[in-house]
Amino acid sequence: MEYAQPLVSATFPQALRERRARRRLSQLELALRAGTTQRHVSFMESGRSTPGRSMVVRLAESLELPLRERNDLLLAAGFAPAYPQTSLQAPALAPVMAALEHILAGHLPYPAIVVDRHGDIVATNTAFGWLTEGVSPALLAPPINAYRLAIHPDGLARRILNFPEWARHVVERLHQESVRNPDERLAALSAELAAYVPRQALSADHLGFAVPLHLQSAAGELRLMTTVTTFATAVDVTIAELKLEAFLPADQETAALLTRKA
């Protein structure tokens, strides 16, 4: 079992200020959430006050930081990290992986995948293969990145009938994640994929986040919407960063077509 290491080294005052600014919270708002005073937050951010471990944990919780960043904040304050980071192949996580496989199988005949924080696929159900018809073998070589698979010209892009809207939806979501929780690899991936998105005006009825995937397949057109599930109570960094993305039929025709394919 390992503990996540900080991405960037920073003093605790700097780390606290940066994270509070990213969350767009005032010192008073953070103080109220953490059960302390604005004066105390100000002193911690200026280095005039050194917080104890419990205060750092409360600040991290109040900022709603991912577990990886909570470890970073603890390390910046001079404390040991609190949350382990276990390999997915470790025996300790076997029950978790078994549960995920059960959920994936239970979602059939509809496609579903599990991705890590960078969008690399760690598990799929058998229906996922129906989405990857005609995809370049290079994009299907492990580790398969779900975001690149969806947006790359040699991936699903050529078969997505509403590609401008869908691609912008995916890229904007990825960009917001990289801004909210900075990560060099995620930022680089976001920049790469943004270059594949057509620069054109969206239609007047564009709904932003509510963008279904309209996909051409050998068996007919599929209209799919997605749901994302996370482990809200995970205390391991690896598990907390996993996302289960499930595709659901957006109309009866798609439901019938997927059922027939199964």
Say if residues 186 and 146 touch (Cβ distance below 8 Å): no
Q: Tell me how far apart the alpha carbons of residues 200 and 203 are, in angstroms, rounded to a whole number.
A: 9
State the chain's mean pLDDT as an integer.
90
Q: What is the mean pLDDT of residues 190-211?
A: 72
pLDDT-wise least confident of 29-33, 108-112, 197-201 = 197-201
* Domains and their CATH numbers in the chain: 2-85 (1.10.260.40), 91-261 (3.30.450)
Whether the pLDDT of residue 104 is over 80: the answer is: yes
Higher pLDDT, 179 or 223: 223
Q: Which residues pair with 230 in a beta bridge?
A: 243
If one compares 128 and 232, the residue with the highest pLDDT of the two is: 128
Q: What residues form DSSP beta bridges with 225? A: 248
Sheet arrangement for strand 112-115: 121-124, 112-115, 243-249, 220-230, 213-217
User: How confident is the model at residue 207, as a pLDDT?
Assistant: 52
- pLDDT on residue 8: 41
**Residue 193: pLDDT band by 50, 70, 90 thresholds?**
very high
The mean per-residue pLDDT over the stretch 236-245 comes to: 95
Query: Residue 184 carries which side chain, given as an amino acid letter?
Result: E
Residue 240 phi/psi, 5° resolution? -60, -25
> pLDDT at position 138, please?
94
Task: Name the least confident of 22-36, 136-150, 153-167, 210-224.
Answer: 210-224
Of 104, 128, 130, 112, the closest CA to residue 257 belongs to 130
* 216 band by pLDDT with thresholds 50, 70 and 90: very high
Q: Quick check: 94 pLDDT over 60?
A: yes
CB-count burial class (<10 Å; 0-12, 13-18, 19+) for 206: middle
Give yes or no for residue 6 having a pLDDT over 60. no
| String of DSSP letters for 165-182 | HHHHHHHHHHHHHHHHS-
| Residue 39 CB contacts under 8 Å (≥ 6 apart), including other chains | none
Which candidate, 41, 39, 76, places its Cα nearest to that of 59?
Answer: 41
Burial class (CB in 10 A: 0-12, 13-18, 19+), 129: exposed
**CA 129 remoteness from chain centre:** 22
Q: What pLDDT, on the 0 to 100 scale, is given for residue 4? A: 46
Please say whether the dihedral angle defined by the alpha carbons of residues 168, 130, 146 and 64, taken in this order, is positive or negative. Answer: positive
CA dist list (Å): 50 to 9, 12, 36, 187: 18, 9, 14, 32
Q: pLDDT digit string (tens) for 34-53?
A: 999 999 999 999 999 999 99
- Give me the mean pLDDT over the 135-148 stretch: 95
The end-to-end CA distance of the chain, in Å, is 39
Distance (Å, whole) CA 124 – CA 121: 7
For residue 197, pLDDT over 70 is answered with yes
Q: What is the pLDDT of residue 65?
A: 95
Q: What is the mean pLDDT of residues 151-169?
A: 91
| Three-state secondary structure call for residue 206 | coil
Q: Any idea which of 42-46, 53-57, 90-94, 209-213 has the lowest mean pLDDT?
A: 209-213
- Flag whether pLDDT at 211 surpasses 70: yes
